[in-house]
Amino acid sequence: MAPAPPRKSVPKDRFAALFSTLKTQTYHDPASRTPGSHTIRSIAWSPTGAYIATGSADRTLRIWNPEKPQVKNSTELRGHSAGIERVAWNPTKEAELASASTDGTCRFWDVRSKSCVASVPLGGEGITIACTLPPPTLQTQHTLPAHTSSILSLSLSPSGRHLALGGSDALISLWDTTDWVCRHTLSSTVGAVRSVGFSFDGSYVAGGSDEGGGVEIVSFAFSELVLHFRGGGFGNERRGEAGANKGWQAHVETGEVVCSIGTAAPAPCVAWHPGRYWVAYSGDAGGLKIVGAGGGGL
């Protein structure tokens, strides 16, 4: 599948209205037999967006084609003996990825042959993993007094200029990597922020949690919550405008949510498409959902 061409950036005042026109596609894994039996722990897009990988607590590692939601068009990679906490793609080779598991191993996979090409013992449970182009120096460069409790997620913007952190204190902090100054701190309505990520153009940040309901999307430049969508529905698009579900209102000056109404299933994993405004997240009953893959106007 050829990668989708990158879309032009959408300004903040138009984003929510346009994003709300996108349709959500659901990808059901047969491993999800009962609610909670197939909790997705990690979601990762391949470098071009041609594939998306999900790693689950029931040790299922599956590769999906976003355009073909039927499970028969997916690829299951077998080998881990315990839950999969993180998956990451080779940034230069579309069909190669790695997975870290609580079985104490990191495994490397080739999607084309559906095989594990290498396995590395970790000496303990594998919690996270990242694939990079240059070899890391593994030397501490900066220590940031960022949050009042544990930092659970982080993401660099595509340009590397900004860093987003999500914490168990229900805060998202946005940092400038040139001077390591915190530019904005945003209060989350969905609980501890388990995942956070930048859109392909670095304009928006999405955060998800396994404690609340829905996903929040923040305008980075203006420190303003522009959209809070809950599973199949959307909240108010901007302060002063009534949304169809009357889900939230954002304080423009601080970016804090001042009203949140309604409930939805938690969405601990959130991941942006690498070239367009599609958002993948873990939906109810452990399923994968992609906003945009079902069609729409953005």
**Tens of pLDDT along the chain (298 residues)?**
455 555 788 887 777 778 778 888 989 888 766 665 668 889 999 999 999 999 988 888 999 999 999 999 999 999 999 999 889 999 888 899 999 999 999 999 999 999 999 998 888 877 767 666 665 755 667 788 888 888 888 888 888 888 888 888 888 888 888 898 888 888 766 678 888 889 998 888 888 887 766 777 777 665 666 666 655 444 433 333 333 333 333 333 344 333 232 345 677 888 999 999 899 988 665 589 898 898 876 6
Interatomic CA distance for residues 227 and 225, integer angstroms: 6
Contact in structure between 82 and 101 (CB atoms under 8 Å): yes
Distance of CA 290 to the CA centre of its chain: 11
Q: Specify the 3-state DSSP secondary structure of 165.
A: strand
Contact in structure between 43 and 286 (CB atoms under 8 Å): no
Rg (CA), the chain: 18
User: How many CB atoms sit inside 10 A of residue 173's CB?
Assistant: 22
Domains and CATH numbers, the chain: 12-134+146-221+253-291 (2.130.10.10)
pTM, whole model, 2 decimals? 0.82
Interatomic CA distance for residues 153 and 66, integer angstroms: 24
* pLDDT score of 243: 33
The Cα-based distances of 284 to 19, 170, 174, 197 in angstroms read 21, 21, 28, 20
* pLDDT score of 260: 32
